[in-house]
Amino acid sequence: MAEREHDVVVFGATGFTGALTAEYLAGAGAGTRWAIAGRNRQKLEALRARLSAEVPVIEADVNDPASIRRLADSTKVVITTVGPYINYGEPLVAACAAAGTHYVDLTGEPEFVDLMWLRHHQEAQRNGAKLVHSCGFDSIPYDLGALFTVSRLPEGVPIRLEGFVRVNGTFSGGTLHSAVHIMSRLRQGRRVAGQRKQMEARPPGRTIRGVIGLPHHDETAGGWVIPAPTIDPVTVLRSARVLDRYGPDFSYAHYMVSKRLPVAAGLVVGVGSVVVLAQLPPARKALLALKNPGEGPTPEQRAKAWFKVRFRGEGGGREVVTEVSGGDPGYGETSKMLAEAARCLAHDDLPDRAGQLTPAVAMGQALIDRLVTAGIGFAMVSDEAAA
Is the pLDDT at 270 greater than 70? The verdict is: no
Residue 213 or residue 161, greater confidence = 161
Single pTM value for the model: 0.93
Rounded to an integer, what distance in angstroms lies between the CA atom of residue 141 and that of residue 144? Answer: 6
Distance of CA 213 to the CA centre of its chain: 23
Q: What percent of the chain has pLDDT over 70?
A: 91
Is the pLDDT at 213 greater than 90? The verdict is: no
Which tens digits make up the pLDDT trace of 333-366?
Answer: 999 999 999 999 999 999 999 999 999 999 999 9
Rounded to an integer, what distance in angstroms lies between the CA atom of residue 50 and that of residue 44? Answer: 10
Rounded to an integer, what distance in angstroms lies between the CA atom of residue 11 and that of residue 57? Answer: 10
State the Cα angle at 105 between 355 and 234, rounded to 5°.
Answer: 70
- Which helix (H) or strand (E) segment is 381 a member of? strand 377-385
* Separation in Å, CA 13 to CA 17, 61, 231, 266, 369: 8, 12, 24, 36, 26
Confidence of residue 331 (pLDDT cuts 50, 70, 90): confident
Contact status, residue 71 vs residue 58, Cβ threshold 8 Å: yes
Which tens digits make up the pLDDT trace of 249-268?
Answer: 999 999 999 987 766 666 66
Q: Which range among 87-101, 285-299, 359-373 shows the weakest confidence by mean pLDDT?
A: 285-299
